[in-house]
């Protein structure tokens, strides 16, 4: 079993839809959870960052962590064509030099 599993997609939704992107993980030591957004032919950019369980909201984006189920989600409300990108989940343990473990990413297309 891979440490981090992410739905492979691709995912296509109409503009205005609510999008749910999900990752599961197997390592219970993970404490920090992130979502990165990557536009075509660009480097990933940090979108959301959460520590331990709970929700975090930033504009149209909500990150949710359920450590009991080892499941994290990213919700996008009122999706826009500019949200079309690849989304990668990432997570790490505590410790100064703990490295991130990434999901493979899911490509989202928002149709006008």
Partner 1 sequence: SQTIHQWPATLVQPVGSPLSLECTVEGTSNPNLYWYRQAAGRGLQLLFYSVGIGQISSEVPQNLSASRPQDRQFILSSKKLLLSDSGFYLCAWSRAQGAGNTIYFGEGSWLTVV
* Residue numbers at the binding site for partner 1 (CB under 8 A): 31-32, 34, 36, 41-46, 49, 51, 88, 92, 96-100, 102-105
Nearer to partner 1, 9 or 17 (CB): 9
Nearest distance from C-beta of residue 60 to partner 1, angstroms: 21
Nearer to partner 1, 17 or 38 (CB): 38
Nearest distance from C-beta of residue 98 to partner 1, angstroms: 6
Nearer to partner 1, 12 or 52 (CB): 52
Nearest distance from C-beta of residue 107 to partner 1, angstroms: 11
Nearer to partner 1, 32 or 75 (CB): 32
For the chain, what is the HEC assignment? CCCEEECCCCEEEECCCCEEEEEEECCCCCCEEEEEEECCCCCCEEEEEEECCEEEEECCEEEEEECCCCEEEEEECCCCHHHCEEEEEEEECCCCCCCCEECCCEEEEEEC
């Amino acid at each position: 079993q891979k440490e981090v599993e992410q739905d492979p997609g691709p995912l296509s939704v109409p503009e205005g839809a609510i999008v749910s992107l999900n990752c599961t993980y197997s390592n219970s030591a993970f404490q920090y959870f992130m979502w990165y957004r990557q536009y075509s032919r660009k480097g990933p950019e940090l979108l959301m960052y959460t520590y331990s369980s709970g929700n975090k909201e930033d504009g149209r984006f909500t990150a949710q962590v359920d450590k009991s189920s080892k499941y994290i989600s990213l919700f996008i409300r009122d999706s826009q064509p500019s949200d079309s990108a690849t989304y990668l989940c990432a997570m790490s343990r505590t410790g100064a030099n703990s490295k991130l473990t990434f999901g493979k990413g899911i490509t989202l297309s928002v149709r006008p």
